[in-house]
Every structure is written in structure tokens, then in C-alpha cells.
């Protein structure tokens, strides 16, 4: 039988609620403010550039083509 006077450990629940509220606040800022649109645009550009660089590096390593040639093809495809 469970001891009714023993307290439950709710640290995980409290941390999840706090993390969820911070994520909700960040999403609200990004999608409901004018400045958030600018931030999303900048983040999108940086993410695309990061992904393109990683893809260029991976293709260059696997195929043996120079990075410069693969980057030129990637730039052409991205437009």
C-alpha cells in the first residue's frame, strides 16, 4: 500500500511546463510580431546556407568533385 504522506517528485512535470511555456512564448513572438517575421527570414536564410554548405561538403567528399564546382551547381539549383 502506498504511503499517503510521501510526497511525489514533480520536478520533471514542472520543468516540462516551464519549457513548454518558453517555447510557446518564442513561437508567439516569431509568428505574431513584425520583428518576428524579420527574425524568421534571417533564420531561414542562415539555415539554407548551412544546409547547402553541408550538402556541398558531403557531395564533394563522396564524388571527388571539387567543392567549387559542386557549390556552383548547388547555387544554380537553389535559384
What is the per-residue pLDDT across 36-63, written as a single tens digit (0 to 9) for each?
A: 889 899 999 999 999 999 999 999 999 9
- Please give the pLDDT value at position 77: 87
Tally helices (H) and strands (E) across the chain. Answer: 3, 0
Average per-residue pLDDT for the chain: 90
pLDDT at 3 over 80: no
pTM of structure = 0.60
Give Cα separations from 12 to 1, 8, 16, 19 (angstroms): 24, 11, 6, 10
Amino acid at each position: 500500500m502506498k504511503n499517503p504522506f510521501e510526497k511525489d517528485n514533480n520536478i520533471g512535470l514542472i520543468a516540462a511546463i516551464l519549457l513548454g511555456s518558453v517555447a510557446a512564448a518564442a513561437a508567439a513572438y516569431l509568428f505574431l510580431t513584425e520583428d518576428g517575421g524579420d527574425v524568421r527570414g534571417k533564420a531561414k536564410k542562415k539555415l539554407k546556407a548551412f544546409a547547402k554548405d553541408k550538402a556541398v561538403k558531403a557531395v564533394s567528399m563522396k564524388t571527388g568533385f571539387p567543392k567549387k564546382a559542386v557549390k556552383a551547381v548547388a547555387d544554380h539549383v537553389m535559384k
